[in-house]
Amino acid sequence: MLTTITTSKKTVLPGLVILLLLVTSAFTTAPEFQSVESDFFTNVSKADVNRSISGYLSGRYTSNYYEIELPADGYISIDFEHEEFEEDENAWRITLFEYNENEIYRFSSRLDERKVSSPNIGLASDTYYVRIDRPVTYTFSDEDYNLRVNHTESRHWEQEPNDTALNATPMSLNRFHGGSLHRFDDEDYFSFDLTADGYISIEFTHERFDDSANGWRISLLNEDRVEVYSFPSAWNEPEVATANIGLERGKYFVKIDSPLIYSHNSNDYGVRVNYNQDSYREIEPNDDRASATEITLNRSYRGSLHSSSDTDYYIFEMPGRGDVTISFEHDTVSADRSGWRITLLDRDGVRIDSFSSRLNEAGAYLEELELDAGKYYLRIDNPVTYAHSKADYVLTINSGYTSPQPQEPDPQGMPGDINNDGRVNIQDAVLVIQSILGYESLTADQRERADVDGNGRIDVNDANLIIQMTLGHISRFPVE
């Protein structure tokens, strides 16, 4: 049965088989059974999604091709079934690929495996192909098989191939997206855009398994593909979440891969990027003086240490000689040990003074420190590795001097300024279009600013008017 699987209907009476095939081709009307000996694109069989189709390999060098048309974006899984035999050799190879013959996924079925299935594979609405052939020359079976391509519609699932930043799957903020790592070397990239400075947190979920190995690695990359933050998710950790991560406006990527070959997990995962706009927060990466976040006097800023090795740097300027008070506040936890160390440095990075804040205290202060005019740095880090807390902290430098304050966005906003950055531009039109399509959810204030034609609803006309304002074709909205 290894070299050639023989059955009575195909090999015992060759003359009868030929006669039966001739009769079948002339009179049968049921298309469920396919035996295709064809070259690709020459004699491809159609296969409907969510419906089983039968076939067999009629020769050692036969390849059966099936055309699969997906009616909508979503994900598929491929089921392959056959009669169970005693041998444990691979007898069939199932390959999913695109029109240009780029392979998406491949797996095999052994003779002693009655049913095998692929993981869920995210795909855009398009035409795809499945090829059934033998995996190696010395193993061949002409027994019947059943093929089924299961399709589930979803607008929030990775779309393969997305193994680089260039073909990353766009993701909506504040919404879970699904995916899976098909192989140990598979990588999934998602992309998202921040229209204004703020902070994010990343949630990662999956089914719980009884194994403590790390099955996934989740990395946050900036537009230049430089890693901002990375964290693992173990098989037995069904939910993990990052600290709040301050980021400036721009394009970012989430990369998901396997940290180790032997710990690969092909089951579904969910990932969500939660975003909040905030003009007064640390901007990552700020791990050294060269990348320090610029802050002003008498203004509170929020930040967090993402890991025990994270360090946050801030830079501020004293316009003249005077006293300063540095306050550091945070939520309390029950542990009675130091959670943060705050160090004041001069412009050359030389320590001036430092203090610590304990986890079970609401904060700590450095009072009445006299500084000359010039630039200074503040460094926030962990005094001890085991005392790390990823909770938000609030940092304030109080002084008799007042630094020039950046202009805050109008809390009421202006018509057309959906992201409340003080300007009407193409990004506002994009937000309106995304809300119409259901990709973004606008707040009540944002909806009021988006209704620039004043008709009481958000529609394409509002987006068109915002674009006209951006191009200078109009100077006022109808609602003004």
Q: Say yes or no: 26 and 124 in one domain.
A: yes
CB atoms within 10 A of CB 374: 12
Give the number of C-alpha atoms closer than 13 A to the C-alpha of residue 256, restricted to the C-beta side.
32
Instruction: List the structure tokens of 461.
Output: 């006309």
| Torsion sign, CA atoms 273, 274, 276, 279 | negative
Report the distance separating Cα 127 and Cα 259, nearest Å: 33
Whole-number pLDDT of residue 442: 84
Is residue 422 assigned to a domain? yes
Residue ending a domain, choose from 153, 175, 200 = 153
Q: Are 316 and 297 in contact (CB under 8 A)?
A: yes
The DSSP call for residue 10 is I
Whats the size of the chain, residue-wise?
A: 480
What domain range includes position 247? 165-277
Q: State the CATH number of the domain containing residue 453.
A: 1.10.1330.10
Number of domains in the chain: 4
CATH of the domain at 259: 2.60.120.380
Q: Where are the strands (E) in 158-268, listed by range?
A: 169-170, 177-179, 188-194, 198-206, 214-221, 227-234, 239-241, 245-247, 250-257
Q: What is the CB neighbour count within 10 angstroms for residue 398? A: 16
Predicted pLDDT of residue 471 = 80
- Whole-model pTM? 0.72
77 and 172 share a domain? no
115 and 32 belong to one structural domain:
yes
Do 83 and 214 reside in the same domain of the chain?
A: no
Q: Are residues 258 and 382 in the same domain?
A: no
The 3-class SS string of 326-368 reads EEEEECCCCCCCEEEEEEEEECCCCEEEEEEEECCCCEEEEEE
Residues 169 and 266 in one domain: yes
Q: What is the mean pLDDT of each run of 10 residues along the chain (480 residues)?
A: 38 34 36 43 84 93 93 96 91 92 93 95 96 84 95 95 95 96 94 94 96 93 93 95 94 94 89 95 94 95 91 95 94 84 95 93 88 95 80 93 53 78 85 86 86 89 88 81
pLDDT the model gives residue 11: 36
Distance CA 248, CA 234 (A): 30
What pLDDT, on the 0 to 100 scale, is given for residue 60? 86
Note whether 142 and 57 are within 8 A (CB).
Answer: yes
